[in-house]
Amino acid sequence: MNGTKSPQDWMNDWQALQQQYWTAWSDATRGVVQPPTMNTPWQDGLEQWSKLFGNSGKQTETADRLISSAKNYVALMQSLLGAAAGKMPQGFAVPNWTDALRTGFNMPGMDATFRNNPFGKIFGDMRGPGLQGFGQLPPNFAPFLDQMKKEGLSWLHAPAFGFARERQEHYQKMAASFVEFQDALGRYNGLMLKSSQRSFEIFEGKLGEHDEPGRQIDSMRALYDVWVDAAEEAYAEIALSDEFRKVYGDVVNSQMRVRQAIQQEVERMSTDFGMPTRSELNSVHKRLHDLRREIRNGRSAESSKEIDELREEVRELKRAMAMREKAPAPPPPKPAATIPTPAPAKRARPPRTAAAARVVNPVEHIKATRSQKKRPSRKPVPKRATAERSHKRSASVHEHAPLSFADAINAMRLAAARKSGKRTSAAARMSIAVKSSKAVTRKRRRGARSR
């Protein structure tokens, strides 16, 4: 890198090289980007490019991230080469590459708080579709924050009173949370700056590892990669410290407090406009979820027992039905005497098992099973003819149709209804059984009598 040229020669060379860069850039973009003046920052070409094509075509998000990173990279290259060419009369042998590197991150026009703070800049760039950092509050919070600044900050510690007391207190609380958040964010950015400074120290150390022949860095990319390693190392040191954990927690927690205060404000406004609020929706979601859980997994102890009992009965019924299907069909009616009688077929034996016995009439079986169970005796209620007719009609349907799961359930309900003598419509039998309080039952009966 050392040469025998004069400083002016080097400057001329550097300017020629810059010109060469811009001409190449203009060619690459087929004239869309015009070569600017010699000392224009290189990343400006990319800036122009992204303005021209920023929102067109596909893969916009990836293209945006690519341009953002490329801008940082070319700024770094220009800074390193410019520093080498402009400052040192010996040519490109720069004694302090770290300073040149540091300058490379201070892109013209960037936020002053990110000066000498590449981490701050990178974190500032990390936003957009698919990304939302803790340091950012959603842009649509802005009106509420403006209102808070008007009403809250000016009266931050003043006692609230009068008809607007609650409102003022709310804005004071929001303002206090916001101040707390800003403070935490400041400490967080301070740690990012510390990471940046530390990254330059580590970078210098890493350069020392390359001063032997054969290990020298000979390209801009290799130099950049060394810095990336140094930066990540520095960041990890800070990010794993107890101080960082505390500050990180403070940023997140204080931001959540600000968000909560804004959410409360939005809720208040939504209520005024008669719109559903987040709390109301949460309440609905919670109830829905609990119901879903009860149905799927949990079930209440009471319904669980009932379902288990029903399942057991259905199982028995199914078993019985299966046995009935296996049993041979009853013999045909005796033919007239003139027709010769065939040899007697093997008679179907009467069912041996209790399950098989149940096949004959599942409904009767359920009744029998239930009557065996010890239950408090009830006053017999006279059966009503209409109910009886209804039962008979239903039963006849089930006698011919194959007994399905639903049939079995219906049969059981029918049996239960017949037993209690209550009048039940088909619709009522289909509905889920619910327990009624005695008072409600009495009332219903009275109503039925009066009808």
Partner 1 sequence: MDPIRIDPRRAIDEATKFNEKLAAGLKTLRTLDDVDFGVTDREEIYREDKLVLYRFKGADKPTSKVPLLIVYALVNRPYMVDLQDDRSLVKHLLALGEDVYIIDWGYPDQSDRYLTLDDYINGYIKRCVDVVAKRHKVEKINLLGICQGGSFSLCFASIYPQKVEHLIAMVTPVDFHTKDNMLSHWTRGIDVDLFIDTLGNVPADLMNWCYLTLKPVRLFQQKYVGLVDILDDKTELENFLRMEKWIFDSPDQAGEAFRQFIKDFYQGNKLIEGGLKIGDKEVDLKKITMPVLNIFAEQDHLVPPSASRPLKKAIGTDDYTELAFKGGHIGIYVSGRAQREVPSAIHDWLGKR
Question: What is the SS3 assignment for 91?
Answer: strand
Sites for partner 1 among residues 277-316 (CB under 8 A): 278, 281-282, 285-286, 288-290, 293, 296-297
Sites for partner 1 among residues 419-438 (CB under 8 A): none
Residue 64 C-beta: closest distance to partner 1, Å: 10
Residue 300 corresponds to which tokens in the numbers above? 């209440």
Sites for partner 1 among residues 26-85 (CB under 8 A): 27-29, 42, 45-46, 49, 53, 56-59, 61-63, 65-70, 72-74, 77-78, 80-81, 84-85
By CB under 8 A, which span of 107-115, 204-212, 383-391, 431-439 interacts with partner 1?
Answer: 204-212
Nearer to partner 1, 119 or 144 (CB): 119
**Burial 377-405, CB ≥16 within 10 A → b, else e:** eeeeeeeeeebeebbeebeeebeeeebee
| Other residues' Cβ atoms within 10 Å of the Cβ of residue 317 | 24
Distances (CA, A) of 361 to 72, 255, 405, 412: 85, 70, 16, 12
**The binder of partner 1 chosen from 41, 44, 104, 123 (CB under 8 A):** 123
Residue 417 corresponds to which tokens in the numbers above? 């209804």
Kindly state the DSSP code that residue 74 receives in the 8-state scheme: H
**The binder of partner 1 chosen from 17, 269, 295, 430 (CB under 8 A):** 17
**The binder of partner 1 chosen from 37, 219, 341, 386 (CB under 8 A):** 219
Residue 256 corresponds to which tokens in the numbers above? 């959540």
Phi, psi of 324 (to 5 degrees): -65, -40
**The binder of partner 1 chosen from 197, 263, 270, 303 (CB under 8 A):** 263
By CB under 8 A, which span of 148-156, 166-174, 236-244, 413-421 interacts with partner 1?
Answer: 236-244
By CB under 8 A, which span of 89-97, 169-177, 386-394, 426-434 interacts with partner 1?
Answer: 89-97
| Other residues' Cβ atoms within 10 Å of the Cβ of residue 306 | 14
**The binder of partner 1 chosen from 79, 83, 107, 119 (CB under 8 A):** 119
The helix-helix angle for 7-28 and 60-87 (nearest 10°) equals 160
Helical segments of 327-384, H only? 354-359, 362-372
**The binder of partner 1 chosen from 31, 130, 139, 382 (CB under 8 A):** 130
Nearer to partner 1, 116 or 361 (CB): 116
